[in-house]
Amino acid sequence: MGYRKEINFDNRNPFNSIIGVILIVLFLVTLYFIARAIFTILYYLSPIMIVAALIIDHRVVLGYVKWLIGLLRDNLLLGLGATILSVLGFPVLSAFLLGKALFKRQVKKARQEAEEAREGEYIEYEELNSEELELPRLEKEERKRDRPENPDNRYDDFFE
């Protein structure tokens, strides 16, 4: 015999649904204030981050500006939208450009270390006599075939 459980949603307590809604609203309000604090901090640090990105690797910022100009030439509407989003999201954009500049610097440093390791320093070695070895020639052994030979099958000829 199976077990059957009945779930009743006709709960007469109205506070159960109100408490859930209040908790969701409190969570969203808390999330809003956290995001607002992060964006405020990014807003005040954004000029410093752009200057740092220019110092670390100026080609990152120039590449982004060239991309925006190229986008304005190719597709004016999309270029205007990207420019407006760049101005409105300047704190996030400055953090992105700083991160990209730092990443490119790390990649450049790792590539340089790899090249140095490849070139490396000379190591001492000893030159050995390179005499040719004379080995006797071996005769091929005839293989016994387990299967009867098929004259049309040339697959085995590849291994002889």
CA–CA distance, 61 with 52 (Å, rounded to integer):
11
- Please state the pTM of the whole predicted model: 0.59
Average pLDDT over residues 134-159: 71
pLDDT tens digit sequence for 87-136: 999 999 999 999 999 999 999 999 988 887 777 666 677 777 777 778 88
Tell me the domain boundaries of the chain.
Answer: 46-118
Asked whether residue 155 carries a pLDDT value surpassing 70, the answer given is yes
Report the share of the chain in percent with pLDDT over 90: 56
Q: Which residue has the higher pLDDT, 145 or 33?
A: 33
Asked if 102 and 61 touch (Cβ cutoff 8 Å), the reply is: no
